[in-house]
Structure 1
Amino acid sequence: MDGTHTHKIKVGIFADGLGRKGKGTAIVLQRIVEHLYQMPNFNIRLIYLAGQCNHELCRRAPSVEVRLFQFPQFSGFFSYAYFFLFSKERFDIVHFPRPALHPLFWLIKALGRTQKIVVAFHGAPESRDIPIFKTWQTRFNRRFIAVFGKYFIDAGIVLSESARDPVARYYHLHNHKIVVINTGVDVQFSNIQHHILNDADKQYLQARYNIPYPYILSVGRLDPHKNIHRLIEGYAKARNKHGISHTLVIVGGKHEPTYTQRVERTIDDLGMRNSVCFTSFVEDKDLPLVYRGADAFLFVSLSEGFGMPLIEAMASGCPVLASNVSAMPEIAGGAAYLVNPYDTDEIAEGIQQILRDGTLREELIKKGILRAKNFSWERCAEETKGLYLKLYTNKDL
């Protein structure tokens, strides 16, 4: 858009998930909003249920509060139904930051209240071989988009080239509607003077989160596709076969109940109860310290749309071991030690190589720091802005 245009493109961004702690989707939404709402030529409006957003961006950025109807159950559902049916708000573009679409979302376009709809698909979809945590709501949303919602979606955002085709196939979207926009990495991870914790930092982590030292690290909730049970099996082999003494610290909540029970059984069966440490949640300000304190970062997920912890670890100067499947090789870009996530012997060998081969460690650290510099929120916001402009001017994506 050149300077002769006076109309600001009005974009409504659904922001109910803006304040969700420990969620990659929330972090992406926060950073995008922080950059976009201050851009000239754009009139950004956050859309959320009245009184339900406690994030400071909801106070700073212009907003549209959806009238909240209080019911014993499903208050949000009925409130958004009313909004989609009767709201007088008009937008040029509306942006859903994740594929959790209300069954009446399409009315906002059918009734002429927006010209274009954008939906972000952050994770890689499930497949026959890779289980993804799901509830009846997520099952409904996925099938709803694939069968009906696809007719009203003008652009889908994925976070890697690896996710483009799986998302297009799974949701029955035309491939030309899929746009790849990588996420960024917060400067707090890369804005550090050194990559070794001092004694005060170690004492703080132990007191605040019960994290021992030395340790190796994994970040991710206990969901089936995160493959934590095989990570623990590989780690146990590294201890028993190679004499590795590090504690395995896992940052992320015990989430999907059945899979959490499987992980717990694996720990007990292998006698690793005193060697595996779970920390359910780490404050944002402390996460760089946790990465910096680890002697290796392990990410053996079976399926990811991007894998933000990979880049956070690299930016923090922590050597990375990652899966050789899904988006991980693409995002790692040659800066990680790649393993077959189904092969626990390979995982064990990778752990001991990173911990004991000093030359390899230094190479991975240097490559990781350089690789992380390719990902920034400024670039992410600029590419999102470019997508909005193409949609507004009806140009090919």
Structure 2
Amino acid sequence: MNIGIDASNVGGGGGITHLKEILFNFNEEKYKDCITSIIVFASQKVLNEIKNFDKLEKVTFPEFNKGLLSRVFFQLTKYDKEINSRCDLLLSITGDYVGTFKPLVGISRNMLLYERAIWLEIKQPKEVIRFWLNYQKQKKSFKNSDGIIFISQYAKEYINNTLNLEGKTTEVINHGVSQRFSQPLKMHKLISEFTFDNPFKFIYVSPVHMYKHQWNVVRAIANIRSLGYPVELHLIGNVSFTPAGEKLAKATREVDVNNIFIKNHGHVKYDEIDKYYRQSNGIIFASTCENMPNTLIESMASGTPIACSNKEPMPEFLKNNGYYFDSYDINSIQSALEKLILNVSNNDSMAFNNLEEVKKYSWVNTSEKTFDFLLEIYNLNK
């Protein structure tokens, strides 16, 4: 069996991490008699990120390394012929392959395509149209798919209700978490052991977008400082939507014009983020639109107490081991952060539970379950 992986629309972020990890952890011995080759179709930039192994073949085309129009025209006119000549099954890593090749397996990664309330917050027509077009592509892809992989139970239920995928073969296969994020349980100190010269360090790792709510977190931190608690906030992540970046900058200027306790580090390389987790005393995750929140899982692996958005699917993964808040309500965020800094004994037990829970999220398991599912779909459609 020759498995094709359509990664032609992968640019970076979670998509490239997912692809790299399932291939890096591919069990060649287990599949030596049933998988002949794995052919990845992608831009040269993406292919350069993937480690070579015996069964792997990397394929690119000039159109994949040019602009969007060139890539889309090739996908619509010539791509299927290339896939047909090489593959017995195709996995669409971004869940947006719109050709006619079968059997096809799609992956659901982006809940922004479905949660329309976020579109109302974004307001920018160009961005909303982009989401709508990508939704239409995924809708067509999933309708044509013989199997669909979801990365959270929440996404499976939500998208099934939206698209009516009754009769499709589906599977929930969670992402893994890199071992470098795993840390031993931290010794959590009393807030009285911190000073304004040596403050309690909160971090929030996430791109800046409307559904990430960094500005509300900034104001909640300022309120806690005003009560006499020595805390500071470290923001890590690039601005992925300009109006959200402007909103964050405005809030920061209003509460901390000299950047004394709001430290915005901007983009940090993925392989350097774990050091910020190690240096933190508390973690904040305020997103209200996720499929499987990798940042939250990495936070759980760090042994650090967590204050988190109460929006699903966050509770699916964090369970009862964090302090929940409404990301739209500054007072709710403030209350959760106060509980976190004042409840050291709870923090110890929650962090221990998170370290146990996160053991379930292994890229080895993700890779094996993914290829098992691909074989199942192939055998069902012989």
* Aligned mate of 1:129, from 117, 120, 132: 117
Task: Return 5+ residue gaps in structure 2 as ranges.
Answer: 189-197
* 1:84 aligns to 2:61 (yes or no): no
Q: What percent of counterpart residues are identical? A: 19
Does the Cα contact within 8 Å between 1:234 and 1:347 map onto a contact in 2? yes
Corresponding position of 1:27: 17
Work out the CA distance in 2 between the residues paired with 1:128 and 1:25: 22
Q: Relative contact order: is structure 1 or structure 2 higher (C-alpha 8 Å, sep ≥ 6)?
A: 2
Q: Residue deviations 1:89-118, cap 9 Å, x none?
A: 2322211111344xxx323x1xxxxx3111
**Within 2, Cα distance between the matches of 1:36 and 1:357?**
42
Q: Which moved more, 1:54-63 or 1:353-362?
A: 54-63
CA contact (8 A) 1:99 1:142 kept: no
Alignment of 1:1-397 (within 5 A): 9-16=1-8, 20=12, 23-36=13-26, 38=28, 39-40=31-32, 41-42=34-35, 43-49=37-43, 53-57=47-51, 62-69=56-63, 74-87=69-82, 89-101=85-97, 105-107=98-100, 109=101, 115-125=102-112, 126-131=114-119, 134=127, 136-146=129-139, 148-174=140-166, 176-190=168-182, 192=183, 195=186, 214-240=200-226, 242-271=227-256, 274=259, 275-394=261-380
**2:274 and 2:75 mapped to 1: Cα distance?**
38
Aligned to 2:191: none
Going from structure 1 to structure 2, the CA distance change for 1:387 and 1:216 (only over 3 Å counts) comes to: same
Shift of 1:290: 0.8
* TM norm structure 1: 0.81
C-alpha distance in structure 1 between counterparts of 2:279 and 2:9, whole Å = 30
Which digits, 9 at most, give the CA deviation of each residue in 1:172-197, with x for residues without a partner? 5337444211111111111x467479
Give, in angstroms, the shift of residue 394 of structure 1: 1.1
* Cα deviation, residue 14, structure 1: 2.2
SS at match of 1:99: coil
Task: Encode CA deviations 1:267-291: one digit per residue, 9 max, x unaligned.
Answer: 2233465122222232344222211
Q: Secondary structure at the match of 1:302?
A: coil
8 A Cα contact 1:37 1:61, kept in partner = no
Aligned CA distance change for structure 1 residues 80 and 61 (closer, same or farther; 3 Å): farther
Q: How many residues align?
A: 359
Q: Are the counterparts in 1 of residues 149 and 171 from structure 2 also a CA contact under 8 Å?
A: yes
Q: Deviations over 1:233-290 (max 9, x none)?
A: 22222222x3232221111101101121122222223346512222223234422221
1:244, 1:223 → 2: CA distance?
28
Residue 218 of structure 1 deviates from its aligned partner by 0.7
- Describe the shift of the 1:290–1:73 C-alpha distance in structure 2 as closer, same or farther (beyond 3 A): closer
64-73 vs 9-18, greater mean Cα deviation: 64-73
SS at match of 2:47: coil
Assess, with a 3 A threshold, how the Cα gap between structure 1 residues 89 and 316 changes in structure 2: closer, same or farther.
same
1:362 aligned partner, one-letter code? D
Secondary structure of the 1:36 match is: coil
CA distance in 2, matches of 1:368, 1:343: 26
Q: Which amino acid aligns with 1:143?
A: Q
Deviations 1:325-369 (A, max 9, x none): 210001112222222223221211111221222212212221121
CA deviations on 1:104-150 (whole Å, 9 max, x unpaired) are x323x1xxxxx31112112324434233874644431212333x434
RMSD: 2.9
Question: Which SS does the other structure have where 1:297 is aligned?
Answer: strand
Residues 52 and 32 from structure 1, CA distance in 2 versus in 1: closer, same or farther, beyond 3 angstroms?
Answer: closer
Aligned CA distance change for structure 1 residues 226 and 99 (closer, same or farther; 3 Å): farther
Q: Alpha carbons of 1:52 and 1:135: their partners in 2 closer, same or farther (altered >3 Å)?
A: farther
Please list every run of 5 or more consecutive structure 1 residues that lacks an aligned counterpart in the other structure. Answer: 1-8, 110-114, 198-211
CA distance in 1, matches of 2:337, 2:346: 12
Letter in 2 for 1:29: L
The answer on whether the counterparts of 2:184 and 2:303 sit within 8 Å (CA) in structure 1 is: no
Contact 1:145 1:171 in 2 (8 A): no
1:130 is paired with a residue whose SS is: helix
